[in-house]
Amino acid sequence: MHFRYLPIDDEVVRNVRATLHDAHGNDLHVQISDDDGNPCRSCLRITPVGTRLILFAHKPFTTTGPYAETGPVFVHADACETYREQSEFPADFRPRTLVFRAYNHAGHTHDTTLAPGETAEETLERFFTDPDVATVHVRNPAWGCFDFAVVRAEGAAAA
């Protein structure tokens, strides 16, 4: 089975950088990372200490409902290359323990697990063999923040 690994939409990121406002009306500012491990949700790279970042509220859902949560995410304050290797699990997330949360077509939580990034494909295979699973969010296990979404690659149907 093949998957697509999706960062936050380019238009959302461009708007945040250009206006320093998010879709929820928050005034934003550029901050300097004091943590060696904040992931940029555009290029899907882990940023080192001293990186210029923007923290903003993001809702990674197209549906409404109790599971359509909004949460904090970081992006580089300056333009970065949007993650384009969408058929490959983002390398910077491999050494991390991650939450994999599966959602059905109505946007409701269907299943969730905590697993190492090294076993991402096996975890995703298990979720996506169920035809009720529409998307999987990969999230930070400590903070619960959205990292990126995973969907079946076109032509890859559920078993």
Question: Digits of tens for pLDDT over the chain (159 positions)?
Answer: 899 999 999 999 999 999 999 999 999 999 999 988 899 999 999 999 999 999 999 999 988 889 999 999 999 999 999 998 899 999 999 999 999 999 999 999 999 999 999 999 999 999 999 999 999 999 999 999 999 999 999 754 443
Q: Return the sign of the alpha-carbon dihedral for residues 112, 102, 14, 78.
A: positive
For residue 95, the SS3 value is coil
In the chain, where does the domain assigned CATH 3.30.1740 lie?
Answer: 9-76
Q: What pLDDT sits at residue 21?
A: 98
Q: How far apart are CA 127 and CA 31, in angstroms?
A: 37
Domain at 9-76: CATH code? 3.30.1740
Which residues, in sequence order, are bridge partners of residue 135? 103
Q: How far apart are CA 30 and CA 115, in angstroms?
A: 32
Those residues with Cβ within 8 angstroms of residue 28's Cβ, 6 or more apart along the chain or in another chain: 16, 20, 21, 22, 54, 55, 56
